[in-house]
């Protein structure tokens, strides 16, 4: 009898699948999604557009008109190209795979986005995590030392960082870019939460020969269509395109993105409302006994509480899903991550938190 144990890599056998809890019937504040629906008139337009899509045909592998619109709307520098992915996750996988020479390493601050390390593991590339400082700022000296020691192929910098919400100092990032250039390393600046940070390295994407900027439409309010993109010099993107799966962005995603990029003002207004809600929610949570709220440039808050498991369980019993990140890294001990929701969702969240934080 042939079993998976006979064939599958041992490290894969030892893994667990990426956990996504069933959110049916819950207030969902665990995945940093935009909680607002599209306006009814825009939903109607989208329905008409999608109904006209030829589902019997393969999607364009490189939809030039959509890419041109994306570059214009998102103000991608003229000397940069754009590569599309099935969400940022696929782009992370493509970059890692393309750079996975024997003995190659990738580096990122930790705690950080789990897919940097996961993709490295899948590609059998060593992952080097450099701990942040206790206030979740970048440990610049440790990062520079790690770059000099390991000469990583790729350095991931989330701007702002997930799950901490930290927006690393621009001067520190410039030092990392310079050190990476000396080590022959590529720096990928991950701007998944840019709509909430209101700062960006995109205008400088073509300035450096070892920097690319990654973004996603997910946090802007379109998580369901799974569209990420990478901007940078064509010399880099042409190589990453070689490991892109053919037809990786489906026809419905392409059609939805094409329409919604014409109405990005609607999504920008929602992001502005979430930034305002973030400020209000942070102030209210900070008033609760035992709650330490860290400054966030994302659409979420990292909060240290006396007992993260008790907070998670209490909110779960109130049908509110949050993320207990306390076991992800020692620096995150007793921390939970709260997605910023609608005013009503945030009110429910606060009411439930008051039951456990007294």
Domains of the chain: 4-40+265-356 (3.90.1150.10), 57-262 (3.40.640.10)
DSSP state for residue 218 in the 8-state scheme: I
Contacts of 319 (CB under 8 A, 6+ apart): 25, 26, 27
What are the φ and ψ backbone dihedral angles of 108, each rounded to 5 degrees? -155, 155
Instruction: With CA atoms as reference, report the closest residue to 217 among 166, 175, 170, 254.
Output: 254
Q: Which helix (H) or strand (E) holds 212?
A: strand 211-216
User: Cis link prior to 38 (omega < 30° from 0)?
Assistant: no
DSSP state for residue 357 in the 8-state scheme: -
What are the φ and ψ backbone dihedral angles of 110, each rounded to 5 degrees? -130, 145
Please say whether the beta carbons of 67 and 91 come within 8 A.
no
Instruction: For 267-279, write each residue's pLDDT tens digit.
Output: 999 999 999 999 9
Give 316: exposed, middle or buried? Use CB within 10 Å, 0-12, 13-18, 19+.
middle
- Which two tokens mark 174? 């410039």
pLDDT at 200: 97
Please say whether the beta carbons of 334 and 294 come within 8 A.
no
Please say whether the beta carbons of 220 and 271 come within 8 A.
yes
pLDDT at 186: 98
pLDDT at 24: 85
Contacts of 141 (CB under 8 A, 6+ apart): none
pLDDT at 252: 97
- What residues of the chain score a pLDDT lower than 50? none
């Amino acid at each position: 009898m042939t079993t998976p144990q006979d064939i599958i890599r041992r490290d894969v056998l030892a893994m667990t699948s990426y956990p996504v809890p069933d959110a049916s019937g819950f207030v969902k504040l665990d995945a940093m999604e935009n909680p607002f629906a599209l306006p009814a008139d825009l939903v109607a337009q989208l329905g008409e557009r999608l109904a006209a899509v030829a589902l019997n045909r393969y999607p364009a592998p490189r939809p030039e008109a959509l890419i041109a619109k994306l570059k214009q709307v998102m103000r991608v520098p003229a000397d940069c190209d754009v590569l599309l992915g099935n969400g940022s996750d696929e782009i992370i996988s493509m970059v890692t795979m393309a750079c996975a020479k024997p003995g190659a390493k990738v580096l990122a601050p930790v705690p950080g986005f789990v897919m940097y390390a996961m993709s490295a593991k899948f590609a059998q590339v060593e992952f080097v995590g450099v701990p942040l400082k206790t206030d979740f700022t970048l440990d610049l000296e440790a990062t520079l030392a790690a770059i000099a020691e390991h000469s990583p192929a790729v350095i991931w910098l989330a701007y702002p960082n997930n799950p901490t919400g930290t927006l690393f100092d621009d001067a520190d990032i410039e030092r990392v870019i310079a050190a990476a250039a000396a080590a022959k390393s590529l720096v990928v600046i991950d701007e998944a939460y840019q709509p909430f940070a209101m700062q960006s390295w995109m205008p400088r994407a073509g300035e450096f020969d070892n920097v690319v900027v990654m973004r996603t439409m997910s946090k802007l309010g379109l998580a369901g269509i799974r569209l990420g993109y990478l901007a940078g010099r064509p010399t880099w993107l042409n190589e990453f395109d070689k490991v892109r799966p053919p037809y990786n962005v489906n026809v419905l995603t392409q059609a939805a993105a094409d329409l919604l990029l014409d109405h990005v003002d609607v999504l920008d207004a929602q992001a502005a409302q979430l930034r305002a809600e973030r400020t209000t929610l942070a102030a209210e949570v900070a008033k609760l006994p035992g709650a330490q709220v860290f400054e966030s440039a994302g659409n979420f808050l990292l909060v240290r509480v006396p007992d993260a498991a008790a907070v998670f369980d209490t909110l779960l019993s109130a049908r509110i899903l949050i993320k207990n990140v306390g076991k992800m890294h020692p620096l995150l001990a007793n921390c939970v991550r709260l997605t910023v929701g609608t005013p009503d969702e945030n009110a429910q969240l606060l009411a439930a938190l008051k039951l456990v934080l007294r």
